A and B are shown apart, each in its own frame.
Chain A
Amino acid sequence: MKKVVILGGGGGGAILANLLPKDEFDVTVIDKKENHVFLPGNLFIAFMGHKKERYMKPLKELLKPHIKFLHDEIISLDLNERKIKTKGKEIEYDYVAIATGAHLDYDAISGNTELLNKFGDYYSGPENAAKLHNTLMGMKEGNFVIAVADPIYMCPPAPQKGAFLSSKFFAKRGLKEKVKVILALPFPHAYSSKVISDIIEPELRKEGIEVHTFFTVDSIDTKNKKIFSVEGEEINYEVAVVIPIHEGPEYEVKPAEVKDDSNYIKIDKYTSKVEGFDDAYAIGDCTNAPTSKSGVTAHLQAETVASRLQGFDAKYSGRTNCPLLTNGTGLFIISDYDHPPVPVKLSKFKRLMEDLFVATYWDAIRYPELWEPIFKAYFEATNPEVLGKEGW
C-alpha cells in the first residue's frame, strides 16, 4: 500500500482522494475546515439570495468510506523528510499532494479588511456572501463597485458575473435608476482576453454596467468611501467588494525554494509535480501554473495526478472552462497552454450547461469515475484545437 496524504479537501483534493483505488492506496485528507464549500455558490448566495447550506457539505460525506479524514490545521510540510506537521500530529507519507488553495490576503490592501467586515463579499466564504446579500438588500442608491486588487485571482470571470447578477438583482428591486453597478478591472478591456471582452462588452452596456479599465486597487478609504488605484484614479462607492490579493499557502514548506515570491508552489505545469520532487504534487489554486485559478483546473489536475500515481504518463493541457453568465445566457472561457481563449458566443444552452455543472457538482466529486468519461467527451468536443478560430 502506498501512503498518500492530500493537504486540503476542496474540489481538487476531494476528487483526487476519491479517484485513488482503495486496494492500492492508503489515503488521508487533511483540512482545517469540516465543511467543503462549492465556491461559485457564493455568487448565488450573494446576488440571488440562495441559502448558504445548499453550497456546503461535510467533507466526510464527500469522501469515500475508506478515506481517512483528519480535521486539523497544517503547520508545516517538509518535502525532504516526507513529514507533515499539523497542530495535533506528525504524519509521514510516500506521496503528498498539496491542494490547499489560495490564501486571501485582505490585510495587503489598506481598508480591505474593514470593507469585508462591513459589507461581506463573495470570495471569503458562504457566511460573508450571505452578509453581502443582506447589505445589498438594504442598499437604496449610489454606486455598487466590484474591484480587483491584483490581476491573479480565483475564477477570472467572477467580477463580470458579479456585475451581471447584481445588475439583475437591483433591477428586480426596482433600483435600476438609483444604483449604478461599476466594474473596475486591472485589464485594458472588460475582460482580460480581448476576444471575450468583445463578446461581453455590448451586454455590459445593455445592462448599464460601467466599466473602468486599468484600475488595480491600491487602497480603500472607508471613511470617505473611495477606492484608489495603483494607476492613479479613484472611484466613489456606497457599497463595494474588492477582490483581495491572492497568495499561495501560508504554512511553512521546506525547502523554501519551492514557493515563488507570491508563496505559490512551483510545479511542472503538465505533470503537477512540485519542482525538484518525484513524490510531491500540487494542484488547484495553490500552484504557479500559468492557467486560470478555477475548479476545472483543479479537477483536471486531480485526474492527472491520480493517473500518474497509478503509473500512467498523464499530462494536464492547461485547459480552462470558466463559465461566465449574464442575464439568462452564458458562455465558457475555453483555453489551454497553447491556445488563448477561443471566441464563444453567449447562448441559453451554455447557460443550461453551466446550471447542469452546478447541479451535478457534488456527484462529480463523490463519484469521479462515473463523471470522468462524460467530462472527457465534453472536453474533447470543445478542445480549443478542435473549435479553432471559429470557436463555439
Chain B
Amino acid sequence: MASKVLEELSENETDALKKTLCFLMKLNEMGILDTLNHLLEPEVIGGLSSLILNKGTLKLLDNVDTLLKSLGEVPKEPKEVGVFGLLGELRDPDVKRGLGFVIALLRSLGKALKSNFS
C-alpha cells in the first residue's frame, strides 16, 4: 500500500516527503511533538491569545506604521541639544507634539509601575 503511494509520487514530491519525515523525526526525538501536543489546549491558546491580544499591543501594532515612518526620517547624526537649545526647540510644534506623546507615555508607564509594585 505504502509503496503504491510512493510510486504515484513525482520525484519532487518524494524528495519533499523525505525531508518532511526527517524534520518530523527530529521534532519527535527532541520531544517537541509531545510538548506541542500537550500545549494545544483551548486554555493555553486562550491564555496566550489574551497575553498577545490586549489593548496595549493592539495600539502598538496600530502605530507601528507611524513609529517606523518617523524612525526612518530621523537624521543619521542628530545634532546635540543643550539646555538652552532645548528651550528653543520647544517652540517647534512638532517637538511639542512628540514631547506630549512621550510625557503621556511616561505617565501611564508610571501608573502601571505603581500598581505593579504596590
Chain A–chain B contact at Cβ < 8 A: yes
Interface residues of A (CB under 8 A from B): 345, 347-350, 369-370, 372-374, 376-378, 380-382, 386-387, 392
In contact, B65 and A373 (Cβ under 8 angstroms): no
Tell me, in angstroms, the Cα distance from A382 to B59 when the chains sit together: 10
In contact, B45 and A392 (Cβ under 8 angstroms): no
In contact, B53 and A392 (Cβ under 8 angstroms): no
B56 CB to nearest chain A CB (Å): 9
Known: A373-B42, A382-B55. 9 other contacts (CB 8 A): A347-B62, A370-B42, A372-B42, A373-B43, A374-B46, A376-B49, A377-B46, A378-B49, A378-B53
Could you say which residues of chain B place their CB within 8 Å of the CB of A370?
Answer: 42, 45
Query: What is the chain B residue whose CB lies nearest that of A379?
Result: B53
Identify whether the interface residues of A are mostly helix, strand, loop, or mixed.
helix
Query: What is the chain B residue whose CB lies nearest that of A386?
Result: B55
Query: What is the chain B residue whose CB lies nearest that of A375?
Result: B49
Nearest first, the 8 closest Cβ-Cβ pairs linking A and B are A373-B46, A377-B49, A377-B50, A377-B53, A374-B49, A349-B61, A381-B54, A349-B62
Is B106 in contact with chain A by the CB < 8 A criterion? no
Tell me, in angstroms, the Cα distance from A382 to B64 when the chains sit together: 18
Tell me, in angstroms, the Cα distance from A372 to B43 when the chains sit together: 11
Could you say which residues of chain A place their CB within 8 Å of the CB of B65?
Answer: 347-349
Tell me, in angstroms, the Cα distance from A377 to B50 when the chains sit together: 5
Tell me, in angstroms, the Cα distance from A369 to B40 when the chains sit together: 11
Could you say which residues of chain B place their CB within 8 Å of the CB of A380?
Answer: 50
Interface residues of B (CB under 8 A from A): 42-43, 45-46, 49-50, 52-55, 57-59, 61-65
Identify whether the interface residues of B are mostly helix, strand, loop, or mixed.
helix
In contact, B58 and A382 (Cβ under 8 angstroms): yes
Give 23 pairs: A residue, B residue, CB < 8 Å, sorted on A.
A347-B65, A348-B65, A349-B61, A349-B65, A369-B42, A370-B45, A372-B42, A373-B42, A373-B46, A373-B50, A374-B45, A374-B53, A376-B46, A377-B49, A377-B50, A377-B52, A377-B54, A381-B54, A381-B57, A382-B55, A382-B58, A387-B55, A392-B62
In contact, B45 and A349 (Cβ under 8 angstroms): no
With contact pairs A381-B58, A392-B59 given, residues A373 and B64 touching in the complex (Cβ less than 8 Å): no
Could you say which residues of chain A place their CB within 8 Å of the CB of B54?
Answer: 377, 381
Tell me, in angstroms, the Cα distance from A380 to B50 when the chains sit together: 8
Tell me, in angstroms, the Cα distance from A377 to B57 when the chains sit together: 12
Query: What is the chain B residue whose CB lies nearest that of A372?
Result: B42
Could you say which residues of chain B place their CB within 8 Å of the CB of A386?
Answer: 55
Could you say which residues of chain B place their CB within 8 Å of the CB of A376?
Answer: 46, 49-50
Tell me, in angstroms, the Cα distance from A377 to B46 when the chains sit together: 7
Tell me, in angstroms, the Cα distance from A279 to B105 when the chains sit together: 52
Tell me, in angstroms, the Cα distance from A348 to B61 when the chains sit together: 9
Tell me, in angstroms, the Cα distance from A347 to B65 when the chains sit together: 8
Query: What is the chain B residue whose CB lies nearest that of A387?
Result: B55
Tell me, in angstroms, the Cα distance from A381 to B42 when the chains sit together: 18
Could you say which residues of chain B place their CB within 8 Å of the CB of A369?
Answer: 42
Could you say which residues of chain B place their CB within 8 Å of the CB of A350?
Answer: 62
With contact pairs A377-B52, A377-B53 given, residues A392 and B58 touching in the complex (Cβ less than 8 Å): yes
B107 CB to nearest chain A CB (Å): 14
Tell me, in angstroms, the Cα distance from A392 to B53 when the chains sit together: 13
Tell me, in angstroms, the Cα distance from A381 to B52 when the chains sit together: 10
Tell me, in angstroms, the Cα distance from A348 to B58 when the chains sit together: 12
Could you say which residues of chain B place their CB within 8 Å of the CB of A381?
Answer: 50, 53-55, 57-58
B3 CB to nearest chain A CB (Å): 29
Query: What is the chain B residue whose CB lies nearest that of A345?
Result: B62
Could you say which residues of chain A place their CB within 8 Å of the CB of B50?
Answer: 373, 376-377, 380-381
Could you say which residues of chain B place their CB within 8 Å of the CB of A377?
Answer: 46, 49-50, 52-54
A261 CB to nearest chain B CB (Å): 41
Query: What is the chain A residue whose CB lies nearest that of B54?
Result: A381
Q: Name, among A348, A372, A373, A380, the residue most crowded by chain B CB atoms within 10 Å (CB to CB).
A: A373
Tell me, in angstroms, the Cα distance from A247 to B65 when the chains sit together: 42
Query: What is the chain A residue whose CB lies nearest that of B41?
Result: A373
